[in-house]
Structure 1
Amino acid sequence: MEKMRADARRNRAKVLAAAEEAFALDGLAVPLDDIARLAGVGAGTVYRHFPSKEALFQAVVLERIQQFAEEARALATAENPGEVFVDYFVRVIKQASLNRAICDALAESSGHAFKAGAGEEFRAALGELLARAQAAGAVRADIDGDDLRALIVGCLAVERYAPGSAHLVRVVIDGLRASGHAASAAATTP
C-alpha cells in the first residue's frame, strides 16, 4: 500500500472525525456533502479516501470497535477481574449508546463490524475479560461471548429507546453476576 502524504493523512483524519460526529447523530442518513462541510474539506477529498458513504461508515465503525478492543486488551491483566469486566461492560454501553452508527453496527448480527478484523479483535478481547471474571467467580459461568454481545445490544436498545433507564442496565449486570456476587456488588454498580 502506498504511503499517504502528511496532508492526505490529516484530511483523512478530519473526514473520519467529522463522519463519526455526523453518523453518531444521524446514522447513515447523513449526506456526504454535510460530512465534507463539517470536516472543512471538499466532497472530492471525501470520495478520494472513501468511495462511498457505506465505506466511510464502515471505517468509522471499525475504528471505534478497534478502540473498544484495545481498551479491553489493556484491561486483560488488571486486578479484580469481576469489577473490571462490569466497569468495561457499562462503559461500552454508555459510549456506544451515544453513537447511533455504533449501535446500528453492533446490532447488525451479520454486519461488517463483526466480520472484519476489528470485530473479531473486540470479540476476543471482550471474551478474555469475560473468562477472567468467570474464573474469579464474579460472573456466571453459563454466559459466552455471543450471549454477551446479545446483552450489549439489548442494553444499547434500552439506552437508546428509554434514555435515563440506567437501572435496567443494572438489572442486566445483576443477572450476569455469579450468585454470591449480586447482593454484595449491588451498591457498587452504576
Structure 2
Amino acid sequence: MPRSDARRNYARILAVAEEEVAAHGAEASLEQIARTAGVGSATVRRHFPSRQALLEAVFRQQVDALAGRARDLAEAPDPRAALLEWLSALTTYAATARGLATALVRDEGSSAHACSATMTEAGVPLVRRAAEAGAVGPEVTAEDLIAVVTGIVLATEHHRDPAGEAQRLLALAVRGISPAG
C-alpha cells in the first residue's frame, strides 16, 4: 500500500491534471501540472510514467461512469432511445473533456486505447439491441458510432460552444443512421 504522502501526491497530481487537460487538452504541460500540484516532475513521472498514462487516469472515472450508464440502459424498454441517450452523454463528455477524443483514437498499443476499448465494449449491447429492434441497420457497430462521435468532437473542439455544436452534429448523424423516430 502506498504511503499516505504518495496517495496525497497522486490525488493532487490527478486533480490538477484534470483541470489542465480541461483547459489545454491532451497536450497540457506536464511541467505545469507538477508546478501547480506542488511536486517535482520526477514525482509526476513516478505516478504516471507517460503522458498517455496520465490521460488515461484523467479520463478513467468518467469513462467508467459512461460504461456504467450503458450497462444501465442495456435493458431499457426503448433500445433506440437508450442508444441515443448514451451516445449523447458520450458526445457531451468527449466535447467538454478536451483530449478525450484524441485518446479515443490512439493506437491499440497505447494505454489510452483502454478508453476506446471500454466505450466500445459498453456500446455493443446497446447497438445490438437497437439493431434487433430495427432502430439501426445491422451493419452499424459500436466501433462505428464511437468513430462518429470522435469525429464530431474533433471537428467541434475549437467551436465557441463545442458541446452544443457536437450535439447538433450528432443529431444530424443520427438522422442518417436511424431515421425513425
- With the shorter chain as reference, the TM-score category is 0.7 to 0.9
Deviation at residue 85 of structure 1 after TM alignment: 0.9
1:88-127 correspondence to structure 2 within 5 Å: 88-108=86-106, 110=108, 112=110, 115-116=113-114, 118-127=115-124
| Alignment partner, residue 152 of structure 1 | 149
Single out whichever of 97-106 and 133-142 deviates more from structure 2: 133-142
Give TM-score scaled by structure 2 length: 0.80
Does the residue aligned with 1:126 lie in a helix, a strand or coil? helix
Higher alpha-carbon deviation: 17-26 or 159-168: 159-168
The answer for the alignment partner of 2:80 in structure 1 is: 82
What is the identity, as a one-letter code, of the residue corresponding to 2:171? R
Which of 114, 124, 128 lines up with 2:125 in the alignment? 128
CA apart distance, 1:97: 0.9
Deviating beyond 6 angstroms after TM superposition, the runs of 4 or more aligned structure 1 residues are none
What is the aligned partner in structure 2 of residue 174 from structure 1?
Answer: 175
Contact 1:33 1:43 in 2 (8 A): yes
Confirm or deny: 8 A CA contact 1:106 1:113 kept in the other structure.
no
- CA-based RMSD of the aligned residues comes to 2.6
Partner of 2:67: 69
Deviations 1:61-82 (A, max 9, x none): 4444333223222322233221
Shift, 1:143, TM fit:
0.5
Kept in 2, the 8 Å contact 1:139–1:176? The answer is yes
Separation (CA, whole Å) in 1 of partners of 2:157 and 2:120? 22
State the secondary structure of the residue aligned to 1:100.
coil
Q: Distance in 2 between matches of 1:126 and 1:109?
A: 20
Task: Please state how far the C-alpha of 1:88 moved relative to its aligned partner.
Answer: 1.0
| SS of residue in 2 equivalent to 1:112 | coil
Q: Provide the aligned length of Structure 1 versus Structure 2.
A: 177
| 8 A contact 2:10–2:47 mirrored in 1 | yes
Partner of 2:135: 138
Are the counterparts in 2 of residues 76 and 129 from structure 1 also a CA contact under 8 Å? yes
Unmatched runs of 5 consecutive residues or more in structure 2: none
- Counterpart secondary structure, 2:139: coil
Q: Which amino acid aligns with 2:56?
A: Q
Provide the C-alpha distance between the structure 2 equivalents of 1:23 and 1:157, rounded to a whole number of angstroms.
Answer: 15
Identity across the alignment (%): 35
* Structure 1 segments unaligned to the other structure (5+ residues): 186-190
Task: Report the counterpart of residue 188 of structure 1 in structure 2.
Answer: none
Deviations 1:100-120 (A, max 9, x none): 22011113354635643x543
**AA at the equivalent of 1:174:** R
Distance in 1 separating the partners of 2:39 and 2:70: 34
